[in-house]
A and B are shown apart, each in its own frame.
Chain A
């Protein structure tokens, strides 16, 4: 071996290609073996056979050759160093915080947590669901409301969702939503964008002055207000309720440890950000926002909800509850289009609460408030007029003609303050502020001569708020928040939960449409750097030049990859991107005097977020049929275009189709729609089959969203964070989402998220993925994604019918296994097979989407032939078990499929009540004896879980034996 290496030149000995082969699973030998099985001579031949000639990229993708991991890290470090990290006291929902090191390492930087998927398979997700239940409990407790969900995308969109919840649930027939003028500006901006397409009249004003003459269905308040003022909203709530309207309050979570929570003063919904519970600022995200509401409104709550149920042995088990609210089931009738949320960040925030406990959190809050009171007292002693009377962590004071001067002086001393207007400055303090910081702020504002000492002022200051503002109720009394306060206990708790789950760090997760590929460590490391993580989203742009470079370069890379002319990185999920893309289309039609165009054509096979987003964008959904081959029926499309063409706004298609096929007719479909004046939205969820091979922006798309948490390597995190940027053609560029708070953004359409670049803190991941793969690597990844899927289909097709293939019998990057004949013949369901796969050590593929009774399998390019074979072997073994059920060798009802998954407790217990062996149950193949994942619970009872809805930690007494 060393002889051949000896013959290479120094250049050839460089490992420039290294990352490509680290990211891609199968090596050359495995690739050839798979090509052989398919009867193909090369990867190029594979692509030629599958991707229609009419849409192949003719141009060369303008992406640089791939970097090594070390080169990528060095480039990002250089970029990051252009960011200046000051201490930002800007507030507005974003605050500096200390991420407990043990949480940083054991959650944020731990693949067991960040490579996990959304917990649809409850049995293999118990760990993270417990963490999310803790999150729900934390939010419900602190907000004083009964029920909280498992995270929202950000505070601003949570406010918009609160608005639509109020509309659905209020008994008032009014069309007006009243927004307090002292809400954070980005909240107002996003709510405005949302209301514009929903026939809601927004009135912005002073809630304390009342809204007698207005026909309101809901009210939005900020608590504390954006100026820092803590106000008593009891009368406002009463007044709103008299009008049968509902009240939503955007509340600061840390303040609620001290202040009367919204639930206690009459609010119906509470929303806010949990970022200050140990999640880095990240220049705007990702952060988990929260929503809490009354139990009566539970069926109307958007987002995921974790609930407690029981498993087949009667033991407690977690599951996703009330899924009938969600887009994958209700489609355009869903409570919201939200799909991916902010799971990983919610877990972090919940662990912060577990780590600190109620006393620790209260102490932090009291310190913050005390320092604020001290700062205020010192300023007043120095002659400043304070505008805020009652406050928690933020004060506003008059600075008049010296406002800009103070802002500049603060920057020179390492602080960013907030310019409220030409005459007022705001300062927001936080967990990280020290006494020295306060003294520095005094010298900045009161001059060098200021000799005040924090310790002195502390003795005389009175931080007490009027009684009506003080929290009376307990919170976080559950055991979990009061048990893990040593680092050893905390570390073991997090490990204990992680061990229960099956994530990518243990096995392939072949979920169709989810693209669970490698999230390389070198992509993730920069996320933890302070130069990326420590920036407040609203700092002056000249402090964020590193981010400017990053976002511009990433936008350019994504344009090259997709063939579009411009990109917005703002939307923080695919669904959010769909919404932004449809808004762009609407605004485009409006600008041409064709605002009456409001029909959106959507195939029945589309992902549920498509119709849900269309509904949010104010469009009417008309379904286009698919033919028996699973392709868009051109006949039906033509008929629908005839009927609706005049009012056609857009068609939303997924390409390759959700059925896993490169439909040859796509160019024609796009042309037909364009002829009738409509725009083409191409859902980019399946981009993994296209990068470098065909460009949606060139074969007919006007706008696409991408899922960076699918195609471009951002980890799935257990259900978020996601990033859903949109790429648009030149004609739609002016209609990209605008910027909240920050200047120089697009102006035609309002913002769809609170931060201009969305979850900027994780954008380095996709930059690194693209930079390290380089042009050749990205094309190779696409080829391998398609090769792996076709190899898998080839191995399984004699056991399970492959539902849709192209005329050559090929699939794209995923395939659908039809299990309906098995169900008809033997009664074995998709669910049974999915749960039996757990016994074999696998996460099931996507169930019953887009076709009920099927499994959709997407291996991705990161899986080696060894793992794909292991999966195929498992599926083939399962088919044999099904055949045994059919022939009577295994009992029709008492068989390993119906009883799956099997826990180690049941398999090793003294009583074994099954007619098949324990070995068949737990170790159906030999290789499992070497490496075995045991699910912590048996099959979870879904009906029980929804009927007996429990969405927060049970009280201790419920765990005690009777």
Chain B
């Protein structure tokens, strides 16, 4: 019997973080199932799911935490598998506009009110070429729950885009 654990970590970026974590996983006969890791402003952060033989879970947890070395590590058990029945379609949302406070807040409110969950979000503030204006750029993967229409979401996003004067593309 294996158990699914979700591990999150954040710490100063340095060579060997992934290597040291995966070493411990292997030591305890675990499997690295899936993960998202990212490097931002000198910090390295990640969220990953591993399957560990139930008998070794406790020891694995202890070993991982004590090997930390400057990493803030959190380990949680997966209580219930996310069933994908409730979700029908997933879309990619691209956003580009003048950087201003509250863009992510407005978008996420709209998404929440229209049955969409955020699977993935990447964003950055870039300097526009030629004029140097600060632009906010985001790429969001969202999934729509059953019973909610992509067309409705599109329309609401269109209104928001007009209000914030950003370009939103739902694809």
Query: Interface on A for B, CB 8 Å cutoff?
Result: 118, 120-122, 296, 299, 320, 322-325, 328-330, 333, 608, 829-831, 834, 846-850, 852-853, 942-943, 946-947, 949
In the complex, what's the smallest C-beta–C-beta distance from A962 to chain B, in angstroms? 26
In the bound complex, do residue A329 and residue B161 qualify as a contact, i.e. CB atoms below 8 Å apart? Answer: no
Does residue B98 face the partner (Cβ distance < 8 Å to A)?
A: yes
Residues of A within 8 A of B138 (CB): none
In the bound complex, do residue A299 and residue B161 qualify as a contact, i.e. CB atoms below 8 Å apart? Answer: yes
Q: Ordered nearest first, which 4 A-B pairs have the shortest CB separation?
A: A849-B129, A847-B132, A831-B132, A848-B127
In the bound complex, do residue A943 and residue B98 qualify as a contact, i.e. CB atoms below 8 Å apart? Answer: yes
Say what secondary structure dominates the interface of chain B: mixed
Residues of A within 8 A of B18 (CB): none
In the bound complex, do residue B99 and residue A333 qualify as a contact, i.e. CB atoms below 8 Å apart? Answer: no
In the bound complex, do residue A324 and residue B129 qualify as a contact, i.e. CB atoms below 8 Å apart? Answer: no
Given A299-B161, A324-B97, A831-B132: A847 and B127 interface contact (C-beta under 8 Å): yes
Residues of B within 8 A of A942 (CB): 98, 131, 133-134
Given A329-B135, A847-B132: A852 and B98 interface contact (C-beta under 8 Å): no
B167: contacting residue among A120, A330, A830, A852, CB under 8 A: A330
Given A299-B161, A330-B96, A943-B100: A323 and B131 interface contact (C-beta under 8 Å): yes
Residues of A within 8 A of B132 (CB): 829-831, 834, 847-848
Does residue B169 face the partner (Cβ distance < 8 Å to A)?
A: yes
In the complex, what's the smallest C-beta–C-beta distance from B168 to chain A, in angstroms? 9
In the docked arrangement, what's the CA distance between A852 and B137, Å? 14
In the bound complex, do residue B130 and residue A328 qualify as a contact, i.e. CB atoms below 8 Å apart? Answer: yes
Q: Mark B49-84, 1 if CB is under 8 A from A, else 0.
A: 000000000000000000000000000000000000
In the bound complex, do residue A328 and residue B96 qualify as a contact, i.e. CB atoms below 8 Å apart? Answer: no
In the docked arrangement, what's the CA distance between A323 and B130, Å? 10
Q: Can you offer 6 A-B residue contacts whose CB atoms are under 8 A?
A: A324-B98, A324-B135, A329-B135, A330-B96, A852-B127, A947-B98
Does residue B165 face the partner (Cβ distance < 8 Å to A)?
A: yes
Q: Mark B135-171, 1 if CB is under 8 A from A, else 0.
A: 1000000000000000000000000011011110100
Residues of B within 8 A of A325 (CB): 167
Residues of B within 8 A of A834 (CB): 132
Within residues 82 to 123 of chain B, which ones have a CB less than 8 A from any CB in chain A? 96-100
Of B98, B126, B162, the most chain A CB neighbours within 10 A belong to B98
A847: contacting residue among B97, B100, B130, B166, CB under 8 A: B130
A328: contacting residue among B126, B128, B165, B166, CB under 8 A: B128
In the docked arrangement, what's the CA distance between A847 and B130, Å? 5
In the complex, what's the smallest C-beta–C-beta distance from B123 to chain A, in angstroms? 15
Given A329-B135, A942-B98, A943-B99: A848 and B129 interface contact (C-beta under 8 Å): yes
Query: Interface on B for A, CB 8 Å cutoff?
Result: 96-100, 126-135, 161-162, 164-167, 169
Residues of A within 8 A of B165 (CB): 299, 322, 946-947, 949
In the complex, what's the smallest C-beta–C-beta distance from B16 to chain A, in angstroms? 23
Residues of B within 8 A of A296 (CB): 162
In the docked arrangement, what's the CA distance between A333 and B137, Å? 14
In the complex, what's the smallest C-beta–C-beta distance from A649 to chain B, in angstroms? 24
In the bound complex, do residue B161 and residue A849 qualify as a contact, i.e. CB atoms below 8 Å apart? Answer: no
Residues of A within 8 A of B161 (CB): 299
In the docked arrangement, what's the CA distance between A45 and B160, Å? 60
In the docked arrangement, what's the CA distance between A333 and B96, Å? 11
> Nearest residue in A to B165 (C-beta to C-beta)?
A946
In the bound complex, do residue A848 and residue B167 qualify as a contact, i.e. CB atoms below 8 Å apart? Answer: no
Residues of B within 8 A of A320 (CB): 131
B130: contacting residue among A324, A330, A849, A946, CB under 8 A: A849
Residues of B within 8 A of A333 (CB): 169
Residues of B within 8 A of A831 (CB): 127, 132
In the docked arrangement, what's the CA distance between A830 and B126, Å? 12
> Nearest residue in A to B163 (C-beta to C-beta)?
A947
Residues of A within 8 A of B133 (CB): 323, 942
In the complex, what's the smallest C-beta–C-beta distance from B23 to chain A, in angstroms? 31
In the docked arrangement, what's the CA distance between A849 and B127, Å? 9
In the docked arrangement, what's the CA distance between A874 and B129, Å? 23
In the bound complex, do residue A324 and residue B166 qualify as a contact, i.e. CB atoms below 8 Å apart? Answer: yes
In the docked arrangement, what's the CA distance between A120 and B135, Å? 15
> Nearest residue in A to B99 (C-beta to C-beta)?
A943
Residues of B within 8 A of A852 (CB): 126-127, 129
Residues of A within 8 A of B126 (CB): 852
In the complex, what's the smallest C-beta–C-beta distance from A507 to chain B, in angstroms? 19
In the bound complex, do residue A829 and residue B127 qualify as a contact, i.e. CB atoms below 8 Å apart? Answer: yes
A853: contacting residue among B127, B164, B167, B169, CB under 8 A: B127
In the bound complex, do residue A848 and residue B130 qualify as a contact, i.e. CB atoms below 8 Å apart? Answer: yes
In the docked arrangement, what's the CA distance between A320 and B98, Å? 13
In the complex, what's the smallest C-beta–C-beta distance from B118 to chain A, in angstroms? 22
Residues of A within 8 A of B134 (CB): 942
In the docked arrangement, what's the CA distance between A333 and B131, Å? 19
> Nearest residue in A to B124 (C-beta to C-beta)?
A852
In the complex, what's the smallest C-beta–C-beta distance from B30 to chain A, in angstroms? 34
> Nearest residue in A to B164 (C-beta to C-beta)?
A947
Knowing that A324-B96, A330-B96, A946-B98 touch, tell me 13 more A-B residue pairs with CB under 8 angstroms.
Answer: A120-B130, A120-B131, A296-B162, A299-B162, A320-B131, A324-B97, A325-B167, A329-B129, A333-B169, A830-B127, A846-B130, A853-B127, A943-B100
Residues of A within 8 A of B127 (CB): 829-831, 847-848, 852-853
In the docked arrangement, what's the CA distance between A942 and B98, Å? 8
Of B97, B99, B129, B131, the most chain A CB neighbours within 10 A belong to B131
In the bound complex, do residue A329 and residue B98 qualify as a contact, i.e. CB atoms below 8 Å apart? Answer: no
In the docked arrangement, what's the CA distance between A325 and B169, Å? 12
In the complex, what's the smallest C-beta–C-beta distance from A795 to chain B, in angstroms? 24
Residues of A within 8 A of B131 (CB): 120-122, 320, 323, 847, 942
In the complex, what's the smallest C-beta–C-beta distance from B95 to chain A, in angstroms? 10
In the complex, what's the smallest C-beta–C-beta distance from A901 to chain B, in angstroms? 13
In the docked arrangement, what's the CA distance between A946 and B162, Å? 10
In the complex, what's the smallest C-beta–C-beta distance from A268 to chain B, in angstroms? 16
Residues of A within 8 A of B164 (CB): 947
Residues of B within 8 A of A850 (CB): 129
In the docked arrangement, what's the CA distance between A831 and B164, Å? 23
In the docked arrangement, what's the CA distance between A929 and B103, Å? 45
In the complex, what's the smallest C-beta–C-beta distance from B57 to chain A, in angstroms? 42
In the complex, what's the smallest C-beta–C-beta distance from B146 to chain A, in angstroms? 24
In the docked arrangement, what's the CA distance between A852 and B131, Å? 11
In the complex, what's the smallest C-beta–C-beta distance from A940 to chain B, in angstroms? 10
In the docked arrangement, what's the CA distance between A5 and B129, Å? 52
In the docked arrangement, what's the CA distance between A322 and B98, Å? 8
In the docked arrangement, what's the CA distance between A824 and B169, Å? 32
> Nearest residue in B to A511 (C-beta to C-beta)?
B130
In the complex, what's the smallest C-beta–C-beta distance from B97 to chain A, in angstroms? 6
In the docked arrangement, what's the CA distance between A324 and B129, Å? 11
